[in-house]
């Protein structure tokens, strides 16, 4: 089972796809989301979102925001 990842800024969609894991820059430090993670909402600080997939890793820079995890869907509302 894969995670569905959407990273959206006010201007445009920064990323949309699937992944096996995603690492996020939380205000309390880095944290990772894997498949079947418990539902959460968390605030994010400026940094890199690391998306791990079958083809390797991809980095997306954000200036902060919030993340919601529900089901196997990760939605980042980025600044």
User: Tokens 């890793």 sit at which residue?
Assistant: 57
Number of Cβ within 10 Å of residue 15's Cβ equals: 18
Percent of the chain at pLDDT > 90 equals 96
Q: Kindly report, residue by residue over 8-29, the tens digit of the pLDDT.
A: 999 999 999 999 999 999 999 9
Residue 55 has pLDDT above 90, yes or no: no
Question: Edge to edge, what strands does the sheet with 29-34 contain?
Answer: 13-19, 3-8, 73-78, 56-70, 40-53, 21-26, 29-34
Calculate the average pLDDT of the chain: 96
Give the right CATH number for 3-78 from 3.40.50.2000, 3.30.230.10, 2.60.15.10, 3.40.50.300: 2.60.15.10
How many residues are recorded in the chain?
79
Spatial separation of the C-alpha atoms in residues 33 and 25, rounded to whole Å: 11
């Amino acid at each position: 089972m894969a995670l569905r990842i959407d990273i959206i800024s006010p201007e445009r969609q920064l990323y949309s796809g699937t992944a096996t894991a995603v690492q996020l820059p939380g205000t309390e430090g880095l944290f990772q989301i894997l498949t079947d993670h418990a539902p959460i909402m968390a605030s994010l600080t400026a940094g890199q979102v690391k998306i791990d997939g079958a083809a390797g890793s991809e980095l997306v820079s954000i200036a902060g925001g919030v993340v919601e995890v529900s089901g196997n869907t990760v939605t980042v509302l980025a600044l």
